[in-house]
């Protein structure tokens, strides 16, 4: 990097400030507004300094008990989908990383290909099947769907991480008489922790936030938090915006903290998995 | 590297069965459905390509298709340009680089529903802060509920906002792989910094840029919640996109034939883009055929 002068440094800082305002501004405004007295929420010009209140949160938990249920459902579905995805993609990633054959090449191509199918195309036939099986509005249904949409990416990420584990480790275990299953469990699994973390992030964030499939396949029992948010959005009038913003804040903060905490895995996963540069 | 026996297929079995049951069979079932004329769950009659003819002669479908096409291009190329700019910014002189990158990642954690609520709050006519700024500075507002161009603009802004972190990260990791000595050599040869960017940096990251664009193309086409929750396709169907058109026919008008035909049109369009993508991917990594 050549040395750069003061004007360019100032310009870079200005652009960075605009970029940060763009990406964090909308989040900041909502979170701040959730602590405002309802009458100040739409004050023009916006009030920047205000006395905080928890009234919106109080109203949220009083008037929208289904929101808490939605958060619980989201948590169950998110954890379930993540565990299922990791379990099956670790196996697949190992197969793709360590074995060769025409059937395996075809399988890895199939994995990529089905990712290209827009999920909305599948909703109608799935809706029919699900109704016949009487599985509508269950947690397991969304767990299986979400996992199916991410096992391809996760398998590719796992494949790429497992390829980085020296094959000699397995060979010496094999000489000692360990079975494939045993090698997988005691050699591969502990050494691919980073890969597991990287592929967990994507499915975790997706399941926590997904809207379309939750809209179509849940009605009450398995209704997720984003769906309840959209219901609150549909019901708010006038001063109730504060309740809505409180709900957005509660749904967002845990996943935001999670994303910030695991951001290095997001990068590792992107380079290892879907997109090779 | 071991020759394959039955073991790798057993290991692949769970993933392959999930994909076949949840994606492949329903996709094929949607194709059968698109060739038949029957409400969900009743015996169907084969009608050939009648549903496709109906879809392709429906002006509302073409409006949805054109809206989708415009939004996808605005979003994908907007993201590519902004993402490239941010990647250059983040890779150069930047104090607290880690904090800057974290700040750029924030929208990745936000759900589509919350993003719509956030941007609606900013652009609520007459009272939203962003509309207030626009009104004060330029005497205009983004009147998305009544003006379809404004509605599509806000939908595009929200989509870019939601996925820019993804495009940025790919391009940022690519820019960091540009060899330093290449840049130094070019500087010694007297190249200016814009010249270096165009002939060195851009050349090195071109494969990543192309893959990011194709990949985003495939995913941007799926746009649903942003439109459904913001304008619901209105006013008068003018902001409809392909997904909302499909959803309306499938789940509101109870017409699975037309909805599935729309779905397969979307699927074929995705696969055409995907063909370029897969080809490019194969070139980029010759070992993973």
Task: Please answer whether residues A187 and A169 qualify as being in contact, where contact means their C-beta atoms are separated by less than 8 angstroms.
Answer: yes
Mean pLDDT of the B170-183 span: 87
- Indicate whether A71 pLDDT > 50: yes
Summarised one tens digit per residue, pLDDT across range A49-68 is: 777 889 899 999 999 999 99
Is the Cβ pair B208, A226 closer than 8 Å?
Answer: no
Q: CB-based contact (8 Å) between A119 and chain B?
A: yes
Q: CB-based contact (8 Å) between B191 and chain A?
A: no
Q: CB-based contact (8 Å) between A213 and chain B?
A: no
Summarised one tens digit per residue, pLDDT across range A135-176 is: 999 999 999 999 999 999 999 999 989 998 888 888 888 888
Quote the pLDDT of residue A276: 40
Confidence band, pLDDT 50/70/90 cuts, at residue B185: confident
Confidence band, pLDDT 50/70/90 cuts, at residue A275: very low
Q: CB-based contact (8 Å) between A172 and chain B?
A: no
Quote the pLDDT of residue B37: 83
The candidate with the shortest Cα–Cα distance to A97, out of B52, B8, B48, is B8
Is the Cβ pair B93, A226 closer than 8 Å?
Answer: no
Weakest mean pLDDT among A40-44, B91-95, B223-227:
A40-44
Quote the pLDDT of residue B40: 56
Weakest mean pLDDT among A79-83, A157-161, B43-47, B235-239:
B43-47
Is the Cβ pair A148, B21 closer than 8 Å?
Answer: yes
Q: CB-based contact (8 Å) between B193 and chain A?
A: yes
Is the Cβ pair A118, B263 closer than 8 Å?
Answer: yes
Q: Rounded to a whole number, what is the distance in Å from the CA of B122 to chain A's nearest CA?
A: 7
Instruction: Select the residue from B2, B7, B18 to test the A interface by mutation, using most A Cβ atoms within 10 A.
Output: B18
Domains and CATH numbers, chain B: 59-284 (1.10.3720.10)
Quote the pLDDT of residue A259: 93
Is the Cβ pair B281, A276 closer than 8 Å?
Answer: yes
| Three-point CA angle A171, A174, A180, nearest 5° | 110
Confidence band, pLDDT 50/70/90 cuts, at residue B289: very low
What backbone phi and psi angles, to 5 degrees, belong to B169? -60, -40
Mean pLDDT of the A214-233 span: 94
Q: CB-based contact (8 Å) between B104 and chain A?
A: yes
ipTM score of the complex? 0.91
Weakest mean pLDDT among B37-51, B70-84, B118-132:
B37-51
Q: Rounded to a whole number, what is the distance in Å from the CA of B245 to chain A's nearest CA?
A: 11
Quote the pLDDT of residue B3: 54
B27 closest CB neighbour out of A121, A128, A266: A121
- Indicate whether B282 pLDDT > 90: no
Mean pLDDT of the A239-250 span: 89
- Indicate whether A75 pLDDT > 60: yes
Quote the pLDDT of residue B210: 86
Mean pLDDT score across all residues of chain A: 89
Q: Which one is predicted more confidently, A240 or A189?
A: A189
- Indicate whether A93 pLDDT > 80: yes
Q: CB-based contact (8 Å) between B39 and chain A?
A: no
| Burial (CB count <10 Å: 0-12, 13-18, 19+), residue A61 | middle
Alpha-helical regions (H) of chain A: 6-34, 55-63, 65-98, 102-115, 123-132, 139-163, 167-175, 180-183, 189-191, 193-209, 212-217, 225-235, 241-261, 263-272
Residues of B in contact with A216 (CB under 8 A): 251
A125 closest CB neighbour out of B30, B110, B177: B30
- Indicate whether B285 pLDDT > 70: no
Q: CB-based contact (8 Å) between A253 and chain B?
A: no
- Indicate whether B5 pLDDT > 80: no
- Indicate whether B117 pLDDT > 80: yes
- Indicate whether A274 pLDDT > 70: no
In terms of CA atoms, which chain A residue is nearest residue B160? A23
Quote the pLDDT of residue A196: 92
Q: CB-based contact (8 Å) between A263 and chain B?
A: yes
B14 closest CB neighbour out of A91, A118, A271: A91
Mean pLDDT of the B284-289 span: 48
Residues of B in contact with A211 (CB under 8 A): 111-113, 224-225, 229
Domain ranges of chain A: 6-34, 64-272
Return the percentage of chain B with pLDDT > 90, whole number: 53
pTM, two decimal places: 0.91
Mean pLDDT score across all residues of chain B: 88
Return the percentage of chain A with pLDDT > 70, whole number: 95
- Indicate whether B143 pLDDT > 90: no
- Indicate whether B288 pLDDT > 50: no
Class of domain A64-272: mainly alpha
What backbone phi and psi angles, to 5 degrees, belong to B286? -60, -20
């Amino acid at each position: 990097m050549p040395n750069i002068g003061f004007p360019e440094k100032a310009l870079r800082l200005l652009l960075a400030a605009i970029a940060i305002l763009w990406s964090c501004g909308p989040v900041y405004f909502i979170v701040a507004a959730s602590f405002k007295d309802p009458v100040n929420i739409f004050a023009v010009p916006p009030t920047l300094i205000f006395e905080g209140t928890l009234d919106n949160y109080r109203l949220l938990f009083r008037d929208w008990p289904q929101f808490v249920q939605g958060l619980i459902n989201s948590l169950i579905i998110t954890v379930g989908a993540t565990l299922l995805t990791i379990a099956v993609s670790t196996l697949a990633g190992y197969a793709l990383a360590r074995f060769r054959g025409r059937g395996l090449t075809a399988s890895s191509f199939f994995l990529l290909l089905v990712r290209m199918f827009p999920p909305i195309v599948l909703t109608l036939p799935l809706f029919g099947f699900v109704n016949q099986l009487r599985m509508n509005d269950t947690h397991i249904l969304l767990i299986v769907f979400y996992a199916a949409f991410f096992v391809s990416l996760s398998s590719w990420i796992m494949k790429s991480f497992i390829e980085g584990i020296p094959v000699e480790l397995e060979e010496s275990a094999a000489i000692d008489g360990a079975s494939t299953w045993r090698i997988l469990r005691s050699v591969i699994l502990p050494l691919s922790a980073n890969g597991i973390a990287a592929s967990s992030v994507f499915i975790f964030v997706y399941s926590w936030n997904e809207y379309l499939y939750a809209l179509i396949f849940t009605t009450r029992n398995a209704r997720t938090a984003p769906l309840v948010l959209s219901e609150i959005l549909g019901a708010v009038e006038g001063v109730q915006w504060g309740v809505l913003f409180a709900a957005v804040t509660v749904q967002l903060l845990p996943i935001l903290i999670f994303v910030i905490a695991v951001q290095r895995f997001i990068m590792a996963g992107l380079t290892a998995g879907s997109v090779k540069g | 590297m071991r020759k394959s026996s039955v073991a790798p297929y057993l290991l692949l079995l769970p993933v392959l069965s999930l994909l076949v049951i949840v994606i492949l069979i329903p996709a094929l079932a949607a194709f059968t459905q698109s060739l038949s004329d029957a409400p969900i769950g009743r015996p169907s009659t084969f009608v050939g390509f009648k549903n496709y003819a109906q879809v392709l002669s429906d002006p509302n479908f073409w409006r949805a298709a054109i809206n989708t096409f415009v939004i996808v291009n605005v979003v994908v190329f907007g993201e590519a340009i902004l993402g490239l700019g941010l990647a250059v910014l983040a890779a150069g002189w930047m104090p607290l680089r880690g904090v800057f990158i974290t700040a750029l990642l924030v929208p990745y954690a936000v759900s589509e529903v919350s993003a719509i609520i956030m941007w609606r709050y900013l652009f609520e006519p007459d009272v939203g802060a962003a509309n207030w700024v626009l009104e004060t500075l330029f005497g205009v507002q983004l009147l998305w509920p009544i003006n379809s161009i404004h509605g599509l603009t806000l939908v595009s802004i929200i989509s870019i906002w939601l996925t820019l972190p993804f495009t940025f990260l790919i391009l940022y990791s690519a820019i960091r792989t540009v060899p330093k000595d290449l840049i130094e050599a070019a500087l010694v040869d007297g190249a200016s910094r814009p010249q270096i960017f165009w002939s060195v940096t851009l050349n090195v990251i071109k494969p990543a840029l192309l893959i990011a664009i194709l990949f985003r193309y495939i995913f941007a086409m799926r746009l649903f919640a942003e439109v459904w929750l913001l304008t619901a396709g209105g006013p008068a169907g003018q902001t409809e996109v392909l997904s909302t058109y499909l959803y309306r026919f499938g789940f509101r008008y109870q017409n699975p034939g037309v909805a599935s035909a729309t779905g397969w049109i979307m699927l074929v369009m995705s696969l055409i883009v995907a063909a370029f993508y897969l080809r490019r991917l194969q070139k980029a990594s010759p070992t993973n055929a």
